[in-house]
Amino acid sequence: MQTTGNTILITGGGSGIGRGLAEAFHVQGNQVIISGRRQSALNEVVAANPGMAAFTVDMADADGIIAFANQVTQAYPALNAVINNAGIMVNEDFVSGNYLATAEATVATNLLGPIRLTAALLPHLLAQPKATVLTVSSGLAFVPMAATPTYSATKAAIHSYSQALRHQLRNTSVEVLEIAPPYVQTFLQGEHQANDPHAIPLADYISETMTLLATTPENGEVLVQRVHPQRFAEQTGKFATMFGFINPA
């Protein structure tokens, strides 16, 4: 991927991996546009990074996504890249039975959101000389965490969607890349994850990811070393071992 000179939209850019990528691209001279649900979080990022732009959007709102896409492309007609990063991760307890609302919200945000935004932006991106659609899946797309079944399922679906999208767009100006993070120190699941020594520090993850993005990732997948055991668990015959590690009895 060309990592400079872009006009790039990053959803979920108010915190975590989204903010990390936004700031990294900003430093490299890209016009960065971030989005999220919380205006206060977006304002904080923009204030710390003069020149960034921000728009609010709820990635579970189908009509809102269409309006948002139109707003962004009208304000920034040079838009040539989008990172579908926004997502939620909430535990679900099948035994208690009180999980369906969480599952439906997760599907709406994590799966339908990126599909809807990509559909809304694709005509614009196809008209650019060179453009990139980046999806964010997870190591849990390949070895799921039982406590977050729908999150893991949406990320597996994003992986499949990315492969199909890449194939269909192979003869166009739009490149399709998939970013599959491992366990990273963010607030996605709260304070514990942000400070868990078993998670890769956010700064380290962003640095390695940006290095990989500047190359030609194999099979269009941006995989830091820490996620390789999950990504290739099936191929290496270690799925059961990795599943047990992620989901201890």
Domains of the chain: 7-246 (3.40.50.720)
* Dist. CA 159–CA 132, nearest whole Å: 16
Looking at residue 249, its pLDDT comes to: 87
Contacts of 155 (CB under 8 A, 6+ apart): 110, 137, 138, 140, 141
3-state secondary structure 67-92: HHHHHHHHHCCCCCEEEECCCCCCCC
**Predicted local confidence at residue 209, as pLDDT:** 98
Averages of pLDDT over each 10 residues, the chain, 249 residues:
95 97 98 96 97 97 98 98 98 94 98 98 98 98 98 98 98 98 95 95 98 94 98 98 96
On whether the CB atoms of residues 132 and 174 are closer than 8 A, the answer is: yes
What pLDDT was estimated at residue 22? 98
Q: Is residue 151 flagged as an active site residue?
A: yes
pLDDT at 216: 87
Which residue in 76, 151, 161, 183 is the catalytic one?
151
